[in-house]
Structure 1
Amino acid sequence: MALRFLVIEGNTQGARQAHREAYGLMPSESYAAVLQDIEPDAICDLAFPADEGANLPDAAGLESYDGIVLTGSHLNIYDRTPDILRQIDLMRAVYASRTPSFGSCWGLQVAAVAADGDVRQNPAGREIGFARRLMPTEAGASHPLLAGRPAVYDAPAIHLDMVTTVPAGCTILASNAVSPVQAAEITVNGGTFWGVQYHPEFSLGELAVILGRRSKILVDEGFCRTPDDAASYVADLTALHKNRDRFDLAWRHGLDTEVLESERRTREIGNFIAHRVRPEKSARGRA
C-alpha cells in the first residue's frame, strides 16, 4: 500500500505564495515532491496551520497518516503570535498521535518548543547557504537518522534561530561550530520526532532561488561584498543545479557529493521513511 504523508507548511500564506511565484512551488509542495521522488507512490496532503481557520486534521486524522513532515518557515517562534501558537499546538497533537514525524529547520524548532524546549536567535549569527562541517555526536554516529552520513558533511541551510534549551527526551545527533543542535531525536508522550536544523530537502536550484530573494541579507550581513557578488554566487548555484559535473564550481564553493547528489543530500528524509515510516506502518497493522 502507498504511504500517506501529511506535509505541514510552516509559512504564512503570503510567504508561501511568494516562494511559489519565484520557484514554481510552495515549500510544502516542493517537500512533497521530494517525498514522492524517494517514494514514488506516496500520497501527500498539505496543511497550513499558520492560516486562521485552516482545516487541520484532528487526533484521528493525524493517526491515519504513516508519516508527518514539517517544513521550514520565515517566522520566529519566540514571537508567539497566533499563527505560531497554532503550529506549536498542532505539533503537540502530532506527538500525542504517535505518528512518525520529521522536520527541517523550523520543523525542528517547533518540535523542540512543543516539547518544552526553547529557541532563540543564534548569537553567532545567521547560517546561510550551507551548514558546514556537520558532525554526528556519539549518539548520532549510530543513529538511523544519520545512517550513511560521513564523519563530517555539509548540507543546505538558512536560519538565524536555533534550539537553545534542549527539552527533556531529546538526544542531540549532530552539531557544528554554528549550532550545537543540528540534528535531534525528541520523544514526548510516546511520540517520537526526528529533525534537522538544515534543509536536506533543498535542491541547489531551490536554494539559489531563496538566496536570490535574500541578496540584501547576503550583503548587509557580510556574506557577500556587493550585490553583484551575491548575484554571482546565486548564478553559480543555479549552474551547479543544472550540471552537477561543473567541477570548477563545486571546487570553488567547497561542495561534494553529500550536497551535489540528491540521494545523498536527502539522506535523512530517506532514512526517516526507511527506518520509521515503513516499519511503524507495518507495526500499526497498515502494511
Structure 2
Amino acid sequence: MLTLLVADGNDREGRASHFAGTGVTSAEAYAAILRDLAPGMACTLINPADADATLPPGAALADYDGLVVTGSTLHVGDDTDAVRRQIALVRRALACGLPVFGSCWGVQVAAVVAGGDAGPNPKGPEYGFSRDLTLTEAGRAHPLLAGRPARFDAPAMHLDAVVTPPADATVLAGNRLLPVQAIEIVYGPGVFWGTQYHPELDLDALAAMLRLSADDVVAAGVLPDPAAVEAFAADLCRVHADPEGETGRVALHRLGPDLLEPARRRTEIANFLERLVRPRVVAAA
C-alpha cells in the first residue's frame, strides 16, 4: 500500500475560500484523486502554511512514499512565513529522497528550492485552459508525460509561473504563453515532477475556481465581466455533468478528449504514481 503526504498549498484563508467554493479543500480533492488512481492508498493531509502544522505523532518525512503539493492562492515571491514554511517542506522532502509532485503552486515552490525563479508570468495569466501544450524533445521521452500526444490542452488557473527554471532542471512541455509548463527537477537524492497546469481539476472544479477568481479573470482581460465568467463556469458544469448531451458547448469551448476524459486529464498524476513512486517502493522492499 502506498502512503503519500498531501500538502495543501493554501493558508487558512485560502483553504476556507476553496472549501466555500467547492465543498472540499485542495488537499482533500487531491487525495480523492490519488486514492482513485491507486485504490488502498493512505493519504496524510497537512497544511504546511500554518505555524502549527505537524506530521502525525511519531512520523517523519522519510516514512512516506512521496509528497504531493497542491495549488495555492499564495505567491511564492512573497517573503512570508506561510511561503517560507512550504519551501522548507519541499526542500526537506527532496533532501531525504522523496519523490515529489506538484501542480501550479507546487511547481513554483520546487523551482525556487532548486535555485530557479518564479513570479508573475511576463506573458500573462492562464485562466481556464492551457492551450496547445507542446512536448519538448526531452518531454517526448519522459515518463511523466507518457501517453500524452505531442500537443494537448489542460485545465489551468495561474498568474505566477516558473520564470527561470533551475539550472539542472529538464523542461518537458511549454506553450506560447509559458515555456515551462511541465518539468523535472532533481535536487540531491530527491526527484520532483510537476506541471504548471492542473491535471487534477475536473471541469466542475475548474468552474468553481473561475468563480472564486472572477475579479482576477476580468482584470486580466480573459473575459469581459463577471457575467461572462459565470456563463463560462456554468457551461463547464453542464459539460461535466453530461458531456455527450452538451456537444454544442463542447464544440464552443473546444473541449477535446484531453479535457473531457478523466483518465487522460490526470495522466501526469498517474504517471507519477506508477513510474516514480511505485518503482522506488519496490526497490526499497
Aligned residue number for residue 255 of structure 2: 255
1:141 positional shift = 0.3
1:169 positional shift = 2.4
Give the partner amino acid of 1:46.
Answer: L
Alignment of 1:121-132 (within 5 A): 121-132=120-131
1:57 positional shift = 6.9
Aligned residue number for residue 276 of structure 1: 276
Closer/same/farther in 2, CA of residues 98 and 156 from structure 1, 3 Å limit? same
* Structure-2 separation of matches of 1:268 and 1:123: 26
* Structure-2 separation of matches of 1:119 and 1:58: 34
Structure 1, unaligned stretches of length 5 or more?
Answer: none
* Structure-2 separation of matches of 1:284 and 1:99: 12
Aligned residue number for residue 38 of structure 1: 37
Provide, for residues 148-183 of structure 1, a one-character-per-residue CA deviation record: whole Å limited to 9, x for no partner: 001110000011111122113210000101111100
1:59 positional shift = 11
1:248 positional shift = 1.1
* 222-231 vs 102-111, greater mean Cα deviation: 222-231
Closer/same/farther in 2, CA of residues 58 and 175 from structure 1, 3 Å limit? farther
Aligned residue number for residue 146 of structure 2: 147
Give the partner amino acid of 1:29.
Answer: E
Matched, 1:74 2:83: no
1:219 positional shift = 2.2
* Structure-1 separation of matches of 2:188 and 2:8: 23
1:198 positional shift = 0.5
1:110 positional shift = 0.4
Matched, 1:162 2:161: yes
- The secondary structure found in structure 1 opposite 2:259 is helix
- The secondary structure found in structure 2 opposite 1:79 is coil
Q: How many residues align?
A: 284
* Structure-2 separation of matches of 1:58 and 1:188: 27
Closer/same/farther in 2, CA of residues 220 and 44 from structure 1, 3 Å limit? same
Alignment of 1:193-204 (within 5 A): 193-204=192-203
Aligned residue number for residue 238 of structure 2: 239
Aligned residue number for residue 109 of structure 1: 108
Alignment of 1:203-214 (within 5 A): 203-214=202-213
* Structure-2 separation of matches of 1:221 and 1:166: 24
TM-score, normalised relative to structure 2: 0.96
Give the partner amino acid of 2:69.
Answer: L
Closer/same/farther in 2, CA of residues 124 and 59 from structure 1, 3 Å limit? farther
Give the partner amino acid of 2:233.
Answer: V
Q: Determine if contact 1:59/1:97 at 8 Å carries over to the other structure.
A: no
* Structure-2 separation of matches of 1:182 and 1:220: 23
Structure 2, unaligned stretches of length 5 or more?
Answer: none
Give aligned-pair identity as a percent: 46
Provide, for residues 202-248 of structure 1, a one-character-per-residue CA deviation record: whole Å limited to 9, x for no partner: 01011101101222222222222232222111110010111121221
* Structure-2 separation of matches of 1:159 and 1:58: 35
- The secondary structure found in structure 1 opposite 2:124 is coil
Q: CA RMSD in A?
A: 1.4
1:40 positional shift = 1.6
* Structure-2 separation of matches of 1:226 and 1:164: 29
Closer/same/farther in 2, CA of residues 58 and 113 from structure 1, 3 Å limit? farther
Closer/same/farther in 2, CA of residues 158 and 214 from structure 1, 3 Å limit? same
